[in-house]
Amino acid sequence: MTPPGANVAGDRPETTQAPPAVSSCLHVLTKRADFLRAARARRQGTPGFTLQARQRAPGEAEGIRVGFTCSKKVGNAVARNRAKRRLREIARLVLPADGRPGWDYVLIGRPGITATRDFAEMQADLRRALAKVHGGDR
């Protein structure tokens, strides 16, 4: 029996323009020390969130690493989780194309705005913030 959606001999897989559900180039920050190092580095505020960015030293982990945080000021657990879900999604869509390998990024939710701001505007905010953080480094 063939599972639904499996490629059968002779079938061509469908091509889609959507990015993969799991991006192999993004790694999630989990250690407090990584968040603290990012907090001491560059930062850029946007209407929907704050971006902190840090270039890692040579020899540290490779690829793009990203972390997400929302304080209790954002709201109750439901509001914080919704804000973090939105931040994860914009990071998944924007960072593989506009982020730089060897950098850590932390997205911090803002009270009342992160959970309600237009999604396309938040993507544009992240692109602008990345351009400002990287400045003329490229």
pLDDT of residue 21: 47
Is the four-CA dihedral 6, 7, 9, 10 of positive or negative sign?
A: positive
pLDDT in tens, 72-128: 999 999 999 999 999 999 999 999 999 999 999 999 999 989 989 999 999 999 999
pLDDT of residue 55: 92
pLDDT in tens, 16-69: 555 554 445 789 999 999 999 999 999 999 999 999 999 998 888 788 999 999
What the block records as the tokens of 20 is 């993969």
What distance in Å separates the CA atoms of residue 129 and residue 126, rounded to the nearest whole number?
5
Domains and CATH numbers, the chain: 26-133 (3.30.230.10)
- Is residue 45 classed as helix, strand or coil in its secondary structure? strand
pLDDT of residue 5: 64
pLDDT of residue 26: 82
- Residue 88's alpha-carbon distances to 12, 37, 128, in angstroms, are 31, 20, 17
